[in-house]
C-alpha cells in the first residue's frame, strides 16, 4: 500500500470519471487530480457558476484537460433524473465519485420531496442517483462507485424508524452524522449486492479525514480561500489537512488496482490526515441488518432501488 503516490498518479487515458460536487472543496481537488491523469472528468454540480469557475481553473492548469459539466441538485428528484440521463449518454463511466454533500445547516429546510434537507440530500439524493446510474456504471467493466463517508459516522444515531428525530427540537448535526452513516452503510450494502450478482462494478468508501479549505493551495478563481499563514496553519496541520489532501483517499479508491469493493480508504494518521490507506472496518460499519433497513427505507422514500445487472424490475 505504501507504493501509492497521490502526487504521481497512474495515467488513465480514455477513461471517464464523474465527480459530484466537483465545483468546490474536496470535489474540486478530486476533479483536478483525476484530470491530471489524462482521464475525462465530468463535474456534476448544483451551482453552475461555481462549476464554471472550477472548469476555468482546471483548463488554465491544463489546456488539454478533458472536462465536462452536468447540472445536478441532489435535493431535487427531477434534477437527479435528468443528470442521470446525461450520465447515461456518456460512452463509458469508469467511476462515479459521490462526493457532493450538504454540511449541517442553520435552518430546518426540506428537499423538493419534503424530506429534511441534509438527510434528503446526502442519503436519499445519493441513493436515487445510485439507483438511476447503476445500469450505466455496469456497462463499463470494472467501474467503481466511490462514496464519500465521514468520521462523523462515529457520532451518528441512526434509527430507521425515526430518521426525522420526531419530538426533538431541530438540530442539523444529528441529521448530518446520520446521513453520512447511512451513506456508508448503503455503500457496503450495495457492494454486497453487486458481489452476489457477480457484477464487475464495485462500491468503495473513501473519507477525507479532517479537511479544510484554508489549508489547501490557492486555486483561484475556483476556490477563493486565502490560505492561513504559517503560525495558524502549522498547529492546524497536526490533526487536519487541506482539501487537496482530503481528496487523496477518494482518488486512490477510484484508481488503485489494489482497491476492492466493500473497503474503506482514509488518511493514515489518526484517520485525520496523511497518505490514503485502507482502513479497518469497526463493528458499527459492519452491521448488515441496519444497512438493509436503511436500504429499504431509502427505497420507500425515493421510490427507486439500485438493481444490479441481471436483476429484474
Ligand X SMILES: NC(=O)c1ccc[n+]([C@@H]2O[C@H](COP(=O)([O-])OP(=O)(O)OC[C@H]3O[C@@H](n4cnc5c(N)ncnc54)[C@H](OP(=O)(O)O)[C@@H]3O)[C@@H](O)[C@H]2O)c1
Q: How far apart are CA 181 and CA 174, in angstroms?
A: 11
Nearer to ligand X, 218 or 296 (CB): 218
- Residue 40 or 73: which CB sits closer to ligand X? 73
**Cβ closest to ligand X, residue 43 vs residue 297:** 43
- Least distance between ligand X and beta carbon 21 (Å): 3
Nearer to ligand X, 144 or 180 (CB): 180
CB 38 to ligand X: min, Å = 24
Nearest residue to 261 via CA among 304, 312, 202:
202
CA distance 30 to 13: 16
Task: Report, in Å, the least distance between residue 82 CB and ligand X.
Answer: 13
Q: Applying CB under 6 A, which residues contact ligand X?
A: 21, 23-27, 45-47, 50, 72-75, 99-103, 121, 148, 150, 180, 207-208, 210-211, 243, 246
Instruction: In angstroms, give the least distance from the CB of 91 to ligand X.
Output: 24
Q: What is the smallest separation between the CB atom of 274 and ligand X, expressed in angstroms? A: 14
> Residue 152 is placed in which grid cell?
462523523
Name the one residue in this structure whose C-alpha cell is 468508501. 205
Question: Concatenated DSSP letters for 14-80?
Answer: T-EEEEETTTSHHHHHHHHHHHTTT-EEEEEES-HHHHHHHHHHHHHH-TT-EEEEEE--TT-HHHH
Question: Do the beta carbons of residue 23 and residue 222 sit within 8 Å?
Answer: yes
Distances (CA, A) of 289 to 12, 177, 241, 268: 38, 19, 34, 29
From the list 297, 66, 73, the residue with the least C-alpha distance to 186 is 297
Q: Is the dihedral of CA 184, 190, 195, 200 positive or negative?
A: negative
54 versus 259: smaller Cβ distance to ligand X: 54
- Number of other CB atoms surrounding residue 250 within 10 Å: 32
Closest separation in Å from C-beta 11 to ligand X: 26
Q: Which is nearer to ligand X, 216 or 291 (CB)?
A: 216
Min CB(165)–ligand X separation in Å: 19
Q: Rounded to whole angstroms, how far apart are CA atoms 233 and 276?
A: 21
Residue with smaller CB distance to ligand X, 32 or 138: 32
Amino acid at each position: 500500500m505504501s507504493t501509492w503516490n497521490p502526487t504521481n498518479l497512474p495515467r488513465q487515458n480514455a477513461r471517464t470519471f464523474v465527480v459530484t460536487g466537483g465545483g468546490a472543496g474536496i470535489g474540486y481537488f478530486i476533479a483536478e487530480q483525476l484530470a491530471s491523469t489524462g482521464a475525462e472528468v465530468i463535474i456534476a454540480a448544483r451551482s453552475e457558476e461555481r462549476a464554471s469557475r472550477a472548469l476555468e481553473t482546471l483548463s488554465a492548469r491544463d489546456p488539454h484537460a478533458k472536462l465536462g459539466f452536468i447540472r445536478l441538485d441532489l435535493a431535487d428528484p427531477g434534477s437527479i433524473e435528468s443528470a442521470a440521463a446525461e450520465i447515461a449518454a456518456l460512452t463509458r463511466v469508469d467511476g462515479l465519485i459521490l462526493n457532493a454533500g450538504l454540511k449541517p445547516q442553520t435552518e430546518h429546510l426540506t428537499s423538493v420531496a419534503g424530506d429534511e434537507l441534509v438527510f434528503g440530500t446526502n442519503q436519499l439524493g445519493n441513493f436515487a442517483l445510485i439507483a438511476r446510474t447503476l445500469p450505466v456504471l455496469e456497462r463499463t467493466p470494472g467501474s467503481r462507485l466511490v462514496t464519500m463517508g465521514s468520521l462523523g459516522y462515529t457520532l451518528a444515531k441512526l434509527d430507521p424508524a425515526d430518521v426525522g428525530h420526531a419530538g426533538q427540537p431541530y438540530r442539523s448535526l444529528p441529521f448530518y452524522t446520520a446521513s453520512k452513516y447511512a451513506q456508508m452503510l448503503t455503500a457496503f450494502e450495495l457492494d454486497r449486492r453487486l458481489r452476489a450478482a457477480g457484477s464487475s462494478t464495485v462500491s468503495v468508501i473513501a473519507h477525507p479525514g479532517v479537511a479544510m479549505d484554508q489549508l489547501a493551495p490557492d486555486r483561484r478563481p475556483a476556490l477563493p480561500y486565502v490560505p492561513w499563514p504559517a503560525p495558524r496553519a502549522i498547529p492546524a496541520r497536526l490533526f487536519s489537512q487541506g482539501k487537496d489532501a482530503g481528496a487523496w483517499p477518494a482518488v486512490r479508491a477510484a484508481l488503485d488496482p489494489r482497491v476492492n469493493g466493500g473497503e474503506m480508504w482514509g488518511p493514515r494518521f489518526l484517520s485525520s490526515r496523511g497518505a490514503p490507506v485502507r482502513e479497518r472496518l469497526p463493528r458499527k460499519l459492519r452491521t448488515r441488518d441496519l444497512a438493509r433497513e436503511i436500504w429499504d427505507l431509502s427505497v420507500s422514500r425515493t421510490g427507486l432501488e439500485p438493481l444490479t445487472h441481471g436483476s429484474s424490475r
